[in-house]
Structures are given as structure tokens and as C-alpha cells.
Structure 1
Amino acid sequence: MRVVMVTGPSGAGRSSAINALEDLGFESIDNLPLSLIPRLLDGPPLPRPLALGLDARNRDFSSEALIELVDRLHRLPGVASDLLYLDCDADTLVRRYSETRRRHPLSPEGAPMQGIEHELELLQPVRERADVLIDTTQLTPHQLRAEISQWFAPRDGRPMSLAIQSFSYKRGLPRGVDMVFDCRFLANPHWVPDLRDMDGRDAAVAEHVAADPRYDDFFERVRGLISSLLDAFVDEGKTSLTIAFGCTGGKHRSVALAEKMSRVLAEQGWRVSKRHRELDRRGLMAGPGKQR
């Protein structure tokens, strides 16, 4: 039995995630009290995987109870469970509440920020325990559905999903990352006028980065390290792993490294999803060769 528990702060996209999982063939139940979940799973075997929406507003919700439930499900034979946490920064949540003119459920009589800050504090231990963390701050509903599909669509292959990201150190480390590699020492295409407006998905940029005499040794060492650890993570029961490559602007070197590592790991049979944070932010994900 596969069970995906979906939680996160109000306004971060839990309903959209539940709907996306339902479209992938999951049976979905939203706002189910925590105390009822063990009874649900103790019943007759379910014909479809199960998606459970967990809301901090439920009367029996607590971070401690949810973490205890997650640990219990991980120990159950015959149950493959994941805790999906949808994250979002406070300013974006405030804007979303302002646009929809909704009151925050944890501060119905006060300003939304008061409830948002309280809920983020309440959920922090849950966020740290999440098996899969998706930051929806800069994701459209369509992009969130695509991300959900990458992680949870039924498919054959290895038992662990890999997410490969690129990012800019100027904007800080991505959230929920397991392994980070710094590639700022490689030759920077930004200083080549003909390459500046391209990104790491363009062949000319990838070739320029790969021409650095330090590139081959760096890539092979990183590939070997990752490959040596993946089966060990699987043995420990980990169902997802996020690997990030960073550079100064998050547009050239980190993107080129993330693209190549994604291809190599996919060729080895791993389920791989990609995200280029800075290209997403700038609206450049239409693909290489487009006007930027």
C-alpha cells in the first residue's frame, strides 16, 4: 500500500497537490484527523494508492503526533509512505491571502501574518521530517502539478526518486536539499559576450564549461560520490534525494552541471526530475534557443 501524506502551511498549495495526486490515480482524503489514519490503514486493503491531506486546523493535530504517525507508518510492513511538505515563504503567503481576500484560519479576526507566522512555527518540526519538500513560493499551479507528477507518478525503475537542482548562491541555498556542490570555480560563460544571454542548457555554454581543465575531474568525482551513496540511501529506506549545484548567477555553470548529472543518473535507471530555480524565477524555462 502506498500512502502520501500532504501537509504544509495554509495557502502553500495543499489542495492543488491533492488534486494532482488524485489525477495520478490516488484515492484522496482531505482534512482527515490524525487519530483516524491508523484505523483507515488497518481496514481492508485499498485498491489504489492513498493521498491524505493533513491540516494544522484539525482539532487533534500536533507536530509531535504527526511525526509519531510518520515513524509508525515507516515501520509497518507492506506500507510505503511519504510525507510531502509544501513550503512557502511568509511574504508570498500574505500576498496570496490578500489576493483572495481570505482570512487565515489560525487568526480569523486578526491580520493574516499573525496566523501565518504561528502556523509556520507550529509546522517547523514537520518540515524538518518531510520525505519530500516542495517550495511553492515561485511555482505556478501548473508547475506544482508537474513537480507532483515527477515525484509520484507510477513508473517502473529504481525505488528512490532523485531531484537535481541548480541555483544561485546570491539568493541562498535551496530549501530541503540533501547534497550541495559548488561549481563557482569553473570557467564562467558570463564573461563571454556571445554566451552571456544563453544558459547552461545551450550546447555552446555546456561546451564552454566542460572545456575548463578542472571540469572532467570534478564531474567524475561528484558522479562517483553520488553513485556510491544512492544504493546506501535506498537500503536506509530513503525514498527521495535532492542534489543541488550552485554557481554565482544560477544560469550557466550550475545549470550545465545539473543537466549533465540528470542525464547520467537517468541513464543508470534512476527516476530523475530537474529544476533550475533561477530560470524558473526569470521565466526562462521555455527551453534553450529561445529569446531571453
Structure 2
Amino acid sequence: MQVIVISGLAGSGKSIALTVLEDSGYYCVDNLPANLLREVALYLKESGHQRAAVSIDARSRETLHLLPQQLADLRRQEMDVHLLFLEAKTDALVKRFSETRRRHPLSDDRSTLPECIQSEREMLGEIHDLANRIDTSDLSASALRTWIRDFISLNPARLTLLFQSFAFKHSIPLDSDMLFDVRCLPNPHYEPLLRPFTGKDDAVIEYLDANIDVNRMFDDIREFVDDWLPCFIRDSRNYLTVAIGCTGGRHRSVYFVERLARYFTGKTQVLVRHRELD
């Protein structure tokens, strides 16, 4: 039986993720106390369910500390268990709460909304470090749905090497494990004929392929990831996110992500995300 546990910050898109999973055939349970996870999963398995998704977050803060042990117990029962953590930057979350006029689950008469969000981050800190993370700060709802579908399509038995392009002007992704800055390289944005294209297009690819520094940078990043990938596999990591950033997130970073993905495909399971294009 496969069990996906969704956690993360209030307002980060957990409801969207749960809806996608339900539409994909998962039996979904929202706002489950952490101490009931093992019991519920075993019941669903005995009832004949093959896939389940459970949302556990700060709303069940009294039992949240029990979640790591509950996950370990399920794995000992030979269940295929995955923890997905959704997060976002504080200013993005404040904006979402203001737009929807929702109340934060930790709100009281003494704390501001940013203080509640910070308390929630600290409360979920241990879970955050155990999970596959998605930073939804700059994602539309449709892009998040696509990323969730990509997540559930992966082979859980293999490490997934996720390459993500992004724009530094829109901030660094929170879900990065390795981060590389390619802003020092020639920028196709300043070439009028190349500006409308992206790093996926032949004209931009040919322009960057012809540059010596671009190829040196690619070789250095490829070699670094290649050298350390076995270490992450030995550490039983399920996901490793390599983020490549440039100024606008449309040309150089996209080019590098696509080129790196081509190289590592076949060595391990590869997933590609282009934050600004998505």
C-alpha cells in the first residue's frame, strides 16, 4: 500500500495537493492527528485500499511530535510511505491570508500573522527536514497541480534528482538542496533576437553552446553533482533538488537544467521544473 503524508504551512497549497491526489484515485483524509496515522493506514489497507493520502499539519500540534515514529512504524509494516512538505515565503503567505480573509490556525489575540507563520515553521521544523519539499511561493494553482502529478508518477524505489530553474529576482527556492548561480554568464536577454525565446529553444541553445565559459560552468556543475550523487543515494535520500538560478529564469538557468537533465537521465530518476516558465 502507498501512503502519501502531506504536511506544510497553512496557506501553502495543501488543499490543492490533497484534491489532486483524490482525483488520482487516492483515499484522502484531511487534518488527521499524527498519533492516528498508523491505525488509519492499517485500517485502509485491510479494507482493500491500495493508495491513501493523509494531511497532517500544525492543526494537530499536540501530537505532531509523534509523526516521525508513525512514519517509521508504517515502513516497518512494508508500506510505501512518502512525506510531502509544502512551504512558501512569509510575504506570500501573508498575501494569501489577506486575500482569502482566512484565519491562521495558530492565530490568537496576542500574535501577528507573521509571528504565527514563524511559530508554525518552528513547530514543523523536524518534519520539514524529513520530507520532499515544494516551495509554492511563486506557483500558480495550476502549476502546483502539475508538480503534484509529477510527484506521484515517480518510481518510489529510486532516488529522484530534481533540476529546477529559477530567477534570482523572484528569490531563491526554499526547497533547494544544491544551488548554483549562472548569472555571470552571457545573458541572451540582451540579444534582441533571442529575448523572446527560452533556454529550451534552439537559437538560445546554440548561442550558449558556443561560449567557452558556459561549457566550463556546465562541466563543473555536472562533475560536482555526479561526484556527490552516490553519497546521497547511500544516505537513503528519496529526493535531491538542484536549483540553477539566473536573473530572469528564462534563458541560462533553463538551458542548464535541460542540459543537466539530459546528462543524468539513465543514471537516476530525473524530474525537471522551470519555476518561472511554469
Q: Does TM, normalized by the shorter one, top 0.5?
A: yes
Runs of 4+ in 1 over 6 A off after TM superposition: none
Residue 180 of structure 2 corresponds to 181
Aligned partners of 1:156 and 1:66: how far apart in 2? 24
Assess if the C-alpha contact under 8 Å between 2:6 and 2:54 holds in 1. Answer: yes
Q: In the TM superposition, what whole-angstrom CA distance separates every residue of 1:88-122 from its partner, at most 9, and x where no partner exists?
A: 22222222222222222222556544433332332
Q: Shift of residue 276 of structure 1?
A: 2.3
1:69 aligned onto 2:70: yes
Task: Tell which deviates more after alignment, 26-35 or 45-54.
Answer: 45-54
Cα pair distance change 1:92/1:246, threshold 3 Å: closer
- 1:85 aligns to what? 85
CA distance in 2, matches of 1:218, 1:90: 33
Match of 1:96 in 2: 96
Q: Which residue of 1 aligns with 2:138?
A: 138
Name the structure 2 match of 1:255.
Answer: 254
CA 1:35 to 1:248, structure 2 compared with 1: closer, same or farther past 3 Å? same
Within 5 A, what are the aligned runs for 1:91-130? 91-107=91-107, 109=109, 112-127=113-128, 129-130=129-130
Partner of residue 273, structure 1: 271
1:57 counterpart SS class = helix
Q: Which runs of 5+ in 1 are unaligned?
A: 286-292
Equivalence map 1:20-99=2 (5 Å): 20-43=20-43, 44-45=45-46, 46-58=48-60, 60-62=62-64, 64-73=65-74, 76=76, 78-99=78-99
| % same residue | 35
1:151–1:161 CA contact under 8 A, matched in 2: no
Aligned-residue offset at 1:258: 0.7
Instruction: Tell me the secondary structure at the aligned position of residue 83 of structure 1.
Output: strand
Distance 1:214 1:97 in 2: 44
Shift of 1:186: 3.1
Greater mean alpha carbon deviation, residues 138-147 or residues 105-114:
105-114
Query: Displacement of 1:150 after TM fit?
Result: 0.8
CA contact (8 A) 1:187 1:208 kept: no
Q: Which amino acid aligns with 1:48?
A: Q
TM-score (norm 1): 0.81
State the secondary structure of the residue aligned to 2:124.
helix
Query: Aligned letter for 1:133?
Result: R
Which residue identity is paired with 1:151? F
The RMSD of aligned alpha carbons is 2.8
